[in-house]
A and B are shown apart, each in its own frame.
Chain A
């Protein structure tokens, strides 16, 4: 488990990129009050989704506008075709906690 930050440091609409203690960078989003975590690198080409455009529970890649559903990691439009791995993330005592999964897509 990794404590990412205090929840007040991740207000709605914001994202954080986690690189320490994880096998690959993970993006953590506050989508209108619900916190999601997915692999940070777009499955299409090298771009950080933490830099992407967040709308509802969808994030759009900042490079090619591929969009992903943060709930299941699935791409919702080309050019991406491969889903993102999702990761369990919770808010505990005001802290955003990432439960890192290694291996199979969640």
Chain B
């Protein structure tokens, strides 16, 4: 194998390049990135960067010395629009065609938005550095009334940051209980109460009917008829995997690029990693995409081994892990919470917002949630075990 193309240029892509070199691959590597930036760290975009405590330079994931060692040809500001595995070519938006012996798909995901958001100034999604720069400028323009649509982690972090900037913030969530799908009902209520603890208004169980304003947003109309005045709207309603460019490639796409446990796709010489890759996971018992930062650092090692060895090479999988910092609280979850899993408090208490809870299923500890208890969390996450009966079905 003399040449590898990595499509996507974020954390998963950089981790893949690092893994390829660490495994001894000495050939050419080209990274194609739609954004014009070298890989940068996204988690601070909703927090320290958005608040203004960090500048863009601080988000860099590698320094010039490491880039020199990695010997990558960067094609930035170039979007891949087609993959032809038979011809081993990738076509770029510019019309340019790139040939490579193998490809790593690390195109990530794009934020979903809501109807009527396009063309209205003051309406934002947050995924990229450019998104964050634009949102930061708007947040600092006077004292805008902020409405956040979606009380997931991104929405909650943006709300927390906007609140810290002294702004009036309302969070709207369609579900009755925010974060229920991720944390279960009880802990979803506990974690989402951080909003109300700090005087941020949280409206649950109500959908958004549309936005008002001409040219610039003036409000959010709720499904129940209420109108929330808004100078600034942030839409945080999830993402969809960036797979449209794979149409016609012959790759199996179904809510992500479908892979086996070794990150191998249905076409030899093409692997996937990061948010776009849908792999079986022994900890969740599901064939799913994992949109966590930690997955984007770990999974590429598997993808790189599979690509270089030419056969699917599953490696031991850690329990999925993510964290969220909001309102001076650090929330950490490892493992997977399924409907019906009940959290059991093992340390601290809910009222003080400092606790650890372990979720059990069939006698196994399947997930651990901590708020402001990093030390115990670090210990307990190592004790989680995959549920034997729920081991993911084999790859397609």
User: Does B74 reach chain A (CB closer than 8 Å)?
Assistant: no
B378, A53: Cβ atoms under 8 Å?
yes
- Tell me if A52 and B378 are in contact (CB < 8 A): yes
Decide if A65 touches B377 in the complex (CB within 8 Å): no
Task: Say yes or no for A63: interface residue by CB 8 A criterion.
Answer: yes
- Known contacts A45-B44, A79-B61: A51-B293 contact under CB 8 Å: no
Q: Which residues of B sit under 8 angstroms from A52, Cβ to Cβ?
A: 374-375, 378
User: How close is B320's CB to chain A, nearest CB, in angstroms?
Assistant: 13
Contact (Cβ within 8 A) B293 A62: no
Interface string of B15-50 (1 = CB under 8 A from A): 100100000000000000000000001011000100
Q: Of A45, A47, A78, A79, which is within 8 A of B374 by CB?
A: A47
Max count, chain B CB within 10 A of own CB: residue among A48, A50, A52, A53:
A53
Say if the beta carbon of B193 comes within 8 Å of chain A: no
Residues in chain B near residue A39, CB distance under 8 A: none
Query: Of A48, A51, A64, which is within 8 A of B294 by CB?
Result: A64
Contact, CB under 8 Å: A65 / B375: no
* Residue A81 interfacial (CB < 8 Å): yes
On whether the beta carbons of A53 and B44 are closer than 8 Å, the reply is no
A76 CB, nearest partner CB in chain B, Å: 13
A40 in contact (CB, < 8 A): no
Looking at the assembled complex, report how far the CB atom of A42 sits from the nearest CB atom of chain B, in whole angstroms: 11
List which A43-62 residues lie within 8 A (CB) of chain B: 45-48, 50-53, 60, 62
A45 to B44, CA, bound (A): 9
Establish whether residues B63 and A62, one from each chain, have CB atoms under 8 Å apart when the complex forms.
no
B2 at interface (Cβ–Cβ under 8 A)? Answer: no
Contacts of B15 in A (CB 8 A): 78
- For A46, list chain B residues within 8 Å (CB): 48
In the complex, what distance in Å separates the CA atom of A78 from the CA atom of B293?
A: 13
Distance between Cα atoms of A57 and B15 in the complex (Å): 26
Q: Given that A78-B18, A79-B61 are known contacts, is A64 also in contact with B375, CB under 8 Å in the complex?
A: no
B317: min CB distance to chain A, Å: 14
Closest CB-CB distance, A50 to chain B, in whole Å?
A: 8
Chain B residues at the A interface, C-beta cutoff of 8 Å: 15, 18, 41, 43-44, 48, 61-63, 66, 293-294, 297, 323, 330, 374-375, 377-379, 382
> 18 A-B residue contacts at CB 8 Å?
A45-B41, A48-B374, A50-B375, A51-B375, A51-B378, A52-B375, A60-B378, A62-B377, A62-B378, A63-B330, A63-B374, A64-B293, A64-B294, A65-B294, A78-B297, A81-B62, A81-B63, A81-B66
Known pairs A51-B378, A81-B63; list 20 more (Cβ under 8 Å): A45-B41, A45-B43, A45-B44, A48-B374, A51-B375, A52-B374, A52-B378, A53-B378, A60-B378, A62-B374, A62-B377, A62-B378, A63-B330, A64-B293, A64-B294, A65-B294, A78-B18, A79-B61, A81-B62, A81-B66
Pairs A-B, 8 closest by C-beta atoms:
A62-B374, A51-B375, A51-B374, A53-B378, A62-B378, A63-B323, A52-B378, A62-B375
